[in-house]
Structure 1
Amino acid sequence: MQTTRHEPDPFLTHAEPVLMVKDVAATVKYWHDVLCFPGHWTWGTPPNHGGVSWQGAFIQFSQNEEAAGRMRGQCIWIRVKRIRQLYQMHQDSKAEIVMHLAKQPWGFVEYVVKDLNGNYVTFASPEKGDDEPKSEPLPAVVRVLGRKLTTAEYRSLAKSVGWTSPQPDEILQKKLDAALFTAVAENSETGEAIGCALILGDGLSFFYIKDVMVHGDWQRKQVGSTIMREVKRWLDDNAPDGSLVGLFTGDGLSQFYQQTGFGPAFGMVRMIERPQSG
């Protein structure tokens, strides 16, 4: 006699491969520093298990030297969006790319990285439907350096991206002076500021990236990406180990910031609003 089941069907949320490795701590560090996975964790002292994550991709590592040697050459296939940005990130981080970015007969654009354990990671994106925005190469006249912005430069950039600032110049100047570092993109032929990003914080444990702007005439030319790489360079050189670096952005720009190691987080905010006198 057949009975009717009333329980809901099982629902699978995601799958995580577990790779056998010789050194969990070194592996997690490699996947974080070289393959740019922002989420990372370890278990045990010294670590005998750990993992990394990046949005929907999760990989775990378990320490087993014998199995790691026997199973060397394991493969992981990861589907991504905006693969060309990721490919450039992995080139910049000196990942060992054993198959360069190329179209494959099965309809995907792919490249392959060999990790420190001799395992292979394929990053792939559909050849059709890849929603990468078109971007021109960085113009030769653009240079990015660390320097202060003037209030006039700030207001010009803010106006070009549609931001308004009711603050008087003296208040705006205090905000600019409070920045620990400001990355400024310039047109080297004119000295005009065409983009910027400010780093605020206590200089010890917390850093906040604010007011990332690129003038409308210079967008889609790799200016913003170059500014964020300069921000990352300064943080890597100056922020103490274990520091928290934060920023606020909408979903539309989340992948842009992920190329410099940022990942989604949960939090709460409160805006201070004082009644206007008069």
Structure 2
Amino acid sequence: MVDHADTQTAKPVITAAEPQLFVSEINAACEFFTRKLGFTVAFTYGEPPYYAQVARDVARINLRCVAAPLIDGALRDREQLLAASLTVATAAEIKALFLEYQAAGVDFFQTLRREPWGARDFIVKDLDGNLLLFAGPAE
């Protein structure tokens, strides 16, 4: 007979999160993420494609095609409603990432700045107006 009192169940550990961005055209979104932000296309799905995943390092972003914007663009910009937050480990990396994106001609919603809570961050606006926060430590 098995003694259940001696059995301990390990607590589940969430190892990743994959935000889903709503886009108007999968191929154009994939091209933006690969050419401008240095991601690779993990997969596309459908014919024509209506779903995809892009990846850079351990970050994954899912892209879902929708017929019309799901949120008012003026409200999103005014309230700075972020679609995703991506982080790097060091102050040098956040600066290097900003400079990489600047050289690629990325449209910044907010340029690199130091925040009162001790982070340095910037916000990129993708082709569909999604706001992507990139952050790292200030020092």
Could you say what secondary structure the match of 1:106 adopts? Answer: coil
Could you say what secondary structure the match of 1:62 adopts? Answer: strand
Q: Would you say 1:113 and 2:121 are equivalent positions?
A: no
Spell out, residue by residue over 1:167-196, the C-alpha distance to the aligned partner (whole angstroms, 9 max, x if none).
xxxxxxxxxxxxxxxxxxxxxxxxxxxxxx
**Within 1, Cα distance between the matches of 2:13 and 2:134?**
26
Mapped contact 1:28–1:41 kept (Cα < 8 A): no
Partner of 2:85: 77
Cα shift at 1:39 = 4.4
Partner of 1:23: 25
Superposed, 1:189-268 pairs within 5 Å as none
Cα shift at 1:8 = 2.3
Mapped contact 1:31–1:37 kept (Cα < 8 A): yes
Mapped contact 2:20–2:62 kept (Cα < 8 A): yes
Superposed, 1:164-203 pairs within 5 Å as none
Partner of 2:51: 49
Spell out, residue by residue over 1:37-75, the C-alpha distance to the aligned partner (whole angstroms, 9 max, x if none).
134421112111001111121100111223xx1235452
Could you say what secondary structure the match of 1:70 adopts? Answer: coil
Task: State the one-letter code of the partner of 2:50.
Answer: N
Cα shift at 1:7 = 2.7
Spell out, residue by residue over 1:12-39, the C-alpha distance to the aligned partner (whole angstroms, 9 max, x if none).
1111011222111111111111111134
Spell out, residue by residue over 1:109-153, the C-alpha distance to the aligned partner (whole angstroms, 9 max, x if none).
11111110101111111113xxxxxxxxxxxxxxxxxxxxxxxxx
Task: State the one-letter code of the partner of 1:61.
Answer: L
**Within 2, Cα distance between the matches of 1:110 and 1:24?**
27
Please give the TM-score of this superposition, normalised by the length of structure 2: 0.80
Mapped contact 1:32–1:40 kept (Cα < 8 A): no
2:102 to 91, 113, 118: 91
**Within 1, Cα distance between the matches of 2:98 and 2:115?**
16
**Within 2, Cα distance between the matches of 1:100 and 1:64?**
28
Cα shift at 1:79 = 0.8
Please give the TM-score of this superposition, normalised by the length of structure 1: 0.42
Provide the alpha-carbon RMSD of the alignment. Answer: 1.8
Mapped contact 1:49–1:61 kept (Cα < 8 A): yes
Partner of 1:127: 138
Task: State the one-letter code of the partner of 1:86.
Answer: L
Q: Which has the higher contact order (CA 8 A, sep 6+)?
A: 2
**Within 1, Cα distance between the matches of 2:50 and 2:59?**
21
- Considering only CA atoms, is the larger Rg found in Structure 1 or Structure 2? 1
Q: How many residues align?
A: 124
Mapped contact 1:87–1:101 kept (Cα < 8 A): yes
Partner of 2:66: 64
Task: State the one-letter code of the partner of 1:80.
Answer: V
Could you say what secondary structure the match of 1:123 adopts? Answer: strand
Could you say what secondary structure the match of 1:25 adopts? Answer: helix
